Amino acid sequence: MSFKSLGLNNALLKAVEKQGYNSPSPIQEKAIPLILEGKDVLASAQTGTGKTAGFTLPMLQILDGTRHPKYRPIRALILTPTRELAAQVYDNVRDYGTYLNMKSTVVFGGVKAKAQIATLRQGVDVLVATPGRLLDLENQGALSLKRVEILVLDEADRMLDMGFLRDIKKIMSLMPSKRQNLLFSATFSREIKELASGILRNPVLVEATPENTTAEKVSQKVYRVDKGQKTSLLTKLISEGNWKQVLIFTRTKHGANKLTKKLIASNISAAAIHGNKSQGARTKALAQFKSNEIRVLVATDIAARGLDIPLLPHVINFELPNVPEDYVHRIGRTGRAGAEGEALSLVCIEEMEYVRQIEKLLKQKFETEIIEGFEPQNNDEPGKPNSKKPKQKNHTPRNRKQGENKAGRSRNDNRSSRRDSSKKRSR
């Protein structure tokens, strides 16, 4: 199959050739003709599948064929969850539109709005944006969405995870109801299906890979190790394996900082990338990582979204995510563009429940190994009957009801609210 046979025009074919793409990826093969026909598309595609070209190429062609004669209103809006992904998608829009008379820009938070407003004033056809900054600018009257013809929700699952549902609904209300909608998501929870049914009209379902499966060429392994031994094992693996480009995931920003410091102390060059870092620091860390100036990038889940690092050989889960779908996203960072990759998870006994949840989601069992010298000493899984931990005695103080904690909330209440807030805060 060639790009030409998908119905793309010469300007786009030339741009694709310039990028060095020989043939369309499966998601491109399926999505491009449907989008060109004007259909709403619900696509299941994780990063690394070529999804960005999958929606950008046909979108540019449609816009190119239906230009407004007098001025340039925003006619296509691409919403992304993170600044990094927004910047990445914008780069792609520019690359693919090289030979078209098309203007595009990107807006996201964390940087001053002045330059963004100035660019918007000059008129743009395609706007790539994160939801918060988009709404800020719309509120200030710096942009209007009244002429949007094509809406793309990229990594929609992540947008919901990040709590953008209300913003998305507000953004919808600012656009004409007659428009083409494209929704891309790596995973399909009930919430995503609900969002899709509220936005898309008679959508065609397009799948790049079977739902919730990881790239075939990624070898996935679990190393069982005690929590306190993880850093030493990690250092050994990187040093002895002479690994040059390693992406490591931690669950929290604090954890990412701590690990980065320890790696540097062991003479392994590293930088952390997470939500507390300034945009400048994130961009610099990513650039250094890509150019092999630093060997290790330690990231939290959200910060890592949209990072386009081709041919990444090693992804390590220093801690497993508590949301099993995040594992799929993390693993999408390796084995990209047909290259083989290795995904390792360092798992302590407390994380075995996460392993089971991920295995259930992927419908596959992981190969588990123990590295000599790092044999886990703690094999008692909390909450399991074989646990040798002494059973907790019931020390409920007289003035507190059974099942209530110090704050007076029931244990379950507390647990669920903690889980919710940690989901947001920890990234």
Residues engaged in binding ligand AMP (CB under 6 A): 21, 24-25, 28, 47-53, 308, 310, 337
Task: Tell me the closest approach of the beta carbon of residue 28 to ligand AMP, in angstroms.
Answer: 6
CB contact set of 317 (below 8 Å; sequence gap of 6+): 248, 249, 327, 330, 343, 344, 345, 346, 347
Helix (H, G, I), strand (E, B) or coil at 410: strand
The residue (of 251 and 333) whose beta carbon lies closer to ligand AMP is 333
The residue (of 308 and 342) whose beta carbon lies closer to ligand AMP is 308
Q: Please say whether the beta carbons of 164 and 157 come within 8 A.
A: no
Task: Tell me the closest approach of the beta carbon of residue 282 to ligand AMP, in angstroms.
Answer: 17
Task: Tell me the closest approach of the beta carbon of residue 340 to ligand AMP, in angstroms.
Answer: 15
Task: Tell me the closest approach of the beta carbon of residue 57 to ligand AMP, in angstroms.
Answer: 9
Tokens 């792609």 found at: 92
Task: Tell me the closest approach of the beta carbon of residue 287 to ligand AMP, in angstroms.
Answer: 15
Helix (H, G, I), strand (E, B) or coil at 296: strand
Could you give the CA distance from residue 387 to residue 379 in angstroms, rounded to a whole number? 8
Task: Tell me the closest approach of the beta carbon of residue 72 to ligand AMP, in angstroms.
Answer: 26
The residue (of 133 and 329) whose beta carbon lies closer to ligand AMP is 329
Task: Tell me the closest approach of the beta carbon of residue 158 to ligand AMP, in angstroms.
Answer: 13
Could you give the CA distance from residue 248 to residue 263 in angstroms, rounded to a whole number? 11
The residue (of 47 and 250) whose beta carbon lies closer to ligand AMP is 47
| Partners of residue 129 on adjacent β-strands | 79, 107
The residue (of 80 and 300) whose beta carbon lies closer to ligand AMP is 80
- How far separated are the first and last CA of the chain, in Å rounded? 41
Alpha carbon separation from 118 to 91, 125, 128 (Å, rounded):
19, 15, 15
CB contact set of 241 (below 8 Å; sequence gap of 6+): none
**In which order are the strands placed within the sheet that holds 126-129?**
104-107, 126-129, 76-79, 150-153, 180-185, 41-44, 204-207
CB contact set of 1 (below 8 Å; sequence gap of 6+): 23, 24, 29
Tokens 């959508």 found at: 203
The residue (of 31 and 270) whose beta carbon lies closer to ligand AMP is 31
Task: Tell me the closest approach of the beta carbon of residue 271 to ligand AMP, in angstroms.
Answer: 21
The residue (of 308 and 319) whose beta carbon lies closer to ligand AMP is 308
Work out the number of other CB atoms within 10 angstroms of the CB of residue 258.
15
The residue (of 208 and 268) whose beta carbon lies closer to ligand AMP is 208
